[in-house]
Amino acid sequence: MARASRTGAIAAVMLVSAIAGCRAPGLEAGRAVPGHTQAASVKTGLAVPLTGTKVSALIPGPRGFTVDPSKSDDSGEQVLTTPTPPGASLQDISCASWWAGTSYIGPGDVGYAVKEFTRSDGITLTIIVNIYRRGGGTSVFDAAMVLHNRCTHFTYRDADGLRYRVDIKPASQAGLGDRSLTYDATETAGGEVFPTEVTLIQVGNATIGINQTGPAASPPVRVVPPLARLIAALRATRY
């Protein structure tokens, strides 16, 4: 059965910002924008630091999903040296702008990688990995928890002006990495209800975000990608 899908589609935020949907000029949805940072080798205290390209290769494609290259990218072969300032301070981030991707906590300042996958039933799965300098993973995870606790019921308008009501509730925790935060949400607009499942995982100074959205009226069945290899690589390089 065909189901309605969003126009001007917007994905839930977890890592630092939304990946699809509304994006502010000069922001690439919660990560450094090529051309807005300087990429160069930097001493990280690691024998073989993970670059964005290496991280991207470690992001798994769940069975039955196909990667969308047009919505996937990474920070390349080198390690970033110039962090992009956050789009807003945590105090100034509204729930709507956070969800829409026009405000974010801060992109990975060592490297990042994003892959978006789709399935024939209309489910979109975005996996986001950001690597930070020492302590960065902890601070970003803590900030995401603050936003999660503050933003449980709110509204926003998408790029087409359609008004959505968002309701967020806690879900069973993923139990991956050092810490994880998982929740389910619904986005309601025009009588249609769209399910969203979001997970944030901290692995040392890195964060892994999993954003899943489904077509209208579809059951919220969470897809958990196989992350063991990615997490092991982050830990092996002491991120």
Query: How would residue 38 be classed by pLDDT, with cut points 50, 70 and 90?
Result: very low
* Tokens coding 50: 């993970």
- For the four alpha carbons of 163, 167, 171 and 176, in that order, the dihedral sign comes to positive
User: Comparing 8-17, 83-92, 93-102, 104-113, which segment has the lowest mean pLDDT?
Assistant: 8-17
Q: Identify the helix (H) or strand (E) that includes residue 59.
A: none
| 208 and 55 Cβ atoms separated by less than 8 Å | no
Residues 178-207: pLDDT tens digits? 999 999 999 999 899 999 999 999 999 899
| Cα angle: 14, vertex 118, 131; to 5 degrees | 35
Cα distance from N-terminal residue to C-terminal residue, the chain: 45
User: Comparing 79-88, 96-105, 164-173, 229-238, which segment has the lowest mean pLDDT?
Assistant: 79-88
In one-letter notation, the amino acid at residue 197 is E
Check whether 233 has a pLDDT greater than 90.
yes
Residues 68 and 66: their CA atoms lie apart, in Å, by 7
pLDDT of residue 226: 92
> What are φ and ψ of residue 44, in 5° steps?
-115, -5
Neighbour tally for 66: CB within 10 Å: 11
Q: What CATH architecture applies to the domain 52-236?
A: 3-Layer(aba) Sandwich (3.40)
Check whether 98 has a pLDDT greater than 90.
no
Check whether 16 has a pLDDT greater than 70.
no
